[in-house]
DNA sequence: CGGTATCCTGAACGATACTG
DNA sequence: CAGTATCGTTCAGGATACCG
């Protein structure tokens, strides 16, 4: 091998991007919550019911993270009874659109993935 | 509210897809390894050097997972010295393409994300 | 209604040593 | 070279209880 010298720092910016994406939506609930908010603003309890099996704590933690990243907005309505709504920001909408191909890929390959796993596990 | 009855099971298939995607590439290393393999087959040690800070153990674990899912192939070459190469399967290549928009989104919004976090943390 | 606070468990991950 | 085995730690996430 003679190319040993000039191949340092191959893809550091790509690595940075991947870390950022995973840090934002790589957890168990964020993408799920974002997907539900595509249809429009939702209240806390409404989300709690919609996102199956999420605990109250994890919904709060997830929403705080998404709010911090500028993906959702939190709006407190002073009414009787008082309530809070969450809504995708414009950036949140574009994030949603950016994930569409990946979700589509899963639809197209779910069967093949299950098959590959079965083959691998059988051996 | 009068729509309480007919809104059960809103998006279960979408949830399933998201779980599958995160289960495959939602961990710390899989996407990173896949991205490095875009350029062509690589040997174990070559990957170990390329993927910054990955431990030998995690590289093995990650590659096994990707192999199980049909994303990479593992080929043992009987030579002296013996070596092993990893390569993206056709399905692995399409997965890579499906993630491109999401990575591109990060490039476009990295600055805005950092800004949003700074604003949120300052308050 | 929409949270916080606290405690706890399991899985993911890292470090290190050894091997065909 | 390309692993496996073992151990220790960290941390995301779940259960539960309480609150403005």
Proximity of residue A60 CB to strand D below 7 A? no
- CA closest to C1' of D2 belongs to B44
pLDDT for res A12: 65
What is the per-residue pLDDT across A76-100, written as a single tens digit (0 to 9) for each?
Answer: 998 878 899 999 999 999 999 999 9
Contacts of A109 (CB under 8 A, 6+ apart): B91, B94, B95
- Residue spans of the domains in chain A: they are 3-122
Proximity of residue B29 CB to strand C below 7 A? yes
What is the per-residue pLDDT across B51-97, written as a single tens digit (0 to 9) for each?
Answer: 999 999 999 999 999 999 999 999 999 887 889 999 999 999 999 99
pLDDT for res B2: 40
pLDDT for res A32: 97
Q: Which nucleotide in the DNA or RNA is closest to residue B56, CA to C1'?
A: D3
> What class has domain B3-122?
mainly alpha
Above 90 in pLDDT, residue A53?
A: yes
Measure the N-to-C terminal CA separation of chain A; round to a whole number of Å.
36
Q: Do B91 and A112 touch (CB under 8 A)?
A: yes
Single pTM value for the model = 0.90
Proximity of residue A46 CB to strand C below 7 A? yes
Helix (H) or strand (E) holding A42: strand A42-43
């Amino acid at each position: 091998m003679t190319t040993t010298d000039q191949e340092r720092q191959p893809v550091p910016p790509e690595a940075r991007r991947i870390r950022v994406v995973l840090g934002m939506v790589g957890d168990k609930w964020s993408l799920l919550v974002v997907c539900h908010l595509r249809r429009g603003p939702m209240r806390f309890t409404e989300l709690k019911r919609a996102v199956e099996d999420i605990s109250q704590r994890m919904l709060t933690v997830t929403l705080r993270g998404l709010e911090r990243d500028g993906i959702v907005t939190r709006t407190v309505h002073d009414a009787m009874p008082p309530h809070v709504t969450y809504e995708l920001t414009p950036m949140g909408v574009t994030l949603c659109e950016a994930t569409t191909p990946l979700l589509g890929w899963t639809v197209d390959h779910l069967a093949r993935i299950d098959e590959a796993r079965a083959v691998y596990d059988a051996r």
